[in-house]
Amino acid sequence: MTNPINAEIIAIGTELLLGEITDTNSVYIARLLRDIGLNLYFMTTVGDNEQRIANAVRTALSRADIIITCGGLGPTIDDMTRHGIAIATERDLIFHQYLLDKIAERFSTFRAKMTDNNRRQAFLPDNAVVIENPVGTAPSFFVEHNGKVIISLPGVPREMKYLMTESIVPYLRQHFNLGDGLIKARVLRTAGIGESMLDTEIGAEILQASNPTVGLAAHTGQVDIRITAKAATEAQADNMIAEVEHKLRNKIGRFIFGTDQEQIEDVLVQLLIKHNSSVAISETGIGTPISHSLLSISREINFITSTQVFDTPQRLRETLSTDVSMPIRELAEFAASSITKHRNTAAGIAVVSNPEMDEFHADTESGTAVAIYLDSDIRSRVFGFGGKSDIASDWVRTWSMSMLWQMLVEKFANP
């Protein structure tokens, strides 16, 4: 049996570690590697320090056959990828006049003057192979080392993407005899069930299978199930994924609201419109995350007939004439029921949150409550954070829409 070929990505740049920019390059590279059937088990980020870069490359060489670095190939003193790779592979840096001439030629096409520091870009590790970069000035290269390969790409996304698709993927296919093999993934999106319960419902037989593999990824109020298949052809991968998906739908289909890029907002709106159903929304102390999200999908008048917004739970209590001592969960349930009946809608969503509290000081007695009312059935949940929390909007929006979707599915499945 042929040993699997493993790859590793090293993103280089102190700005990544400082949180100044988001590393989208590694995500792009990872998807291309997946599509040609390469295993990717590690992605590393390292700052602009030649010794730390060298250490990251050495570590990658100990566990991967293909190492792709991204960034650190510019002309400034903190661009140290070339030095780090030279140290890791015990090579000298060699100056190439023709590379400097190429760089100068590129600058002339831009009608810009090349500065002296661009000379640094003409140094490469000994015996490195240049990867022509017609869309930028940073010379890219690869180094073969002890049967493995280190590929260094620029950090500019436009240049990296061009070189990956035009040069690197064809090189990897040929050099590692990859043929047409690929890795394909499909995501089933679930709502109304937590990660631990979903794990139990699916069972170890499916979750521990090797090909296709099944993995869970929890988000705010939702859990994704990723099915990943490695096969010689796309048709084979599709068939393998379909077989596992069928098993999963038999087990937990009632919780699956969509696939791949589908969002709960889109699916909920489609369901409401399909069944000519309407919903009224009451949001207190948290702004308008629910109504704003739904209305951004569609302005169909028949699925949202009314929204009400209050600054504080006290304002809501005054409007509903409730006891000031009523807990926020009961208050949210009363508000959901009240707005549904008052507006004569099919369903109601109410969220009540303390706008002065964040996730560090609130609790389930004074934080946030969400309630859904549908056909005299009411379901609610309390959260230990207030409306001031950074996570409040996402949690109440996702949980409320997920729960309403599930209640509607149950209703229409059992009219």
Write down which residue in 175, 197, 222 finishes a domain: 175
Are residues 210 and 299 located together in one domain of the fold? no
Specify the CATH number for the domain of residue 53.
3.40.980.10
- CA dist 39 and 228 (Å) reads 11
Tracing tokens 């890791």 back to the chain, one arrives at 88
- Predicted TM-score (pTM) of this structure: 0.66
Write down which residue in 175, 201, 223 finishes a domain: 175
Are residues 84 and 137 located together in one domain of the fold? yes
Write down which residue in 259, 279, 306 finishes a domain: 259
Predicted confidence at residue 81, as pLDDT, reads 95
Specify the CATH number for the domain of residue 316.
3.90.950.20
- pLDDT classification of 2: cutoffs 50, 70, 90: low
Structural domains of the chain, count: 3
Beta strands in 85-231 (DSSP E): 93-95, 123-125, 129-131, 140-145, 148-153, 182-191, 213-219, 222-231
Residues 6+ apart with CB under 8 A from 304: 278, 279, 280, 281, 291, 294, 295
- pLDDT classification of 112: cutoffs 50, 70, 90: low
Among the ranges given (106-115, 321-330, 359-368), the one the predictor scored with the smallest mean pLDDT = 106-115
Q: Is residue 1 part of a domain?
A: no
Predicted confidence at residue 1, as pLDDT, reads 38
Q: Is residue 297 part of a domain?
A: yes
Express as a percent the part of the chain with pLDDT over 90.
Answer: 48
Are residues 344 and 397 located together in one domain of the fold? yes
Are residues 107 and 13 located together in one domain of the fold? yes
Predicted confidence at residue 128, as pLDDT, reads 94
- CA dist 48 and 211 (Å) reads 38
Are residues 277 and 403 located together in one domain of the fold? yes
Q: Containing domain of residue 340, as a range?
A: 264-413
Are residues 186 and 115 located together in one domain of the fold? no
Are residues 235 and 286 located together in one domain of the fold? no
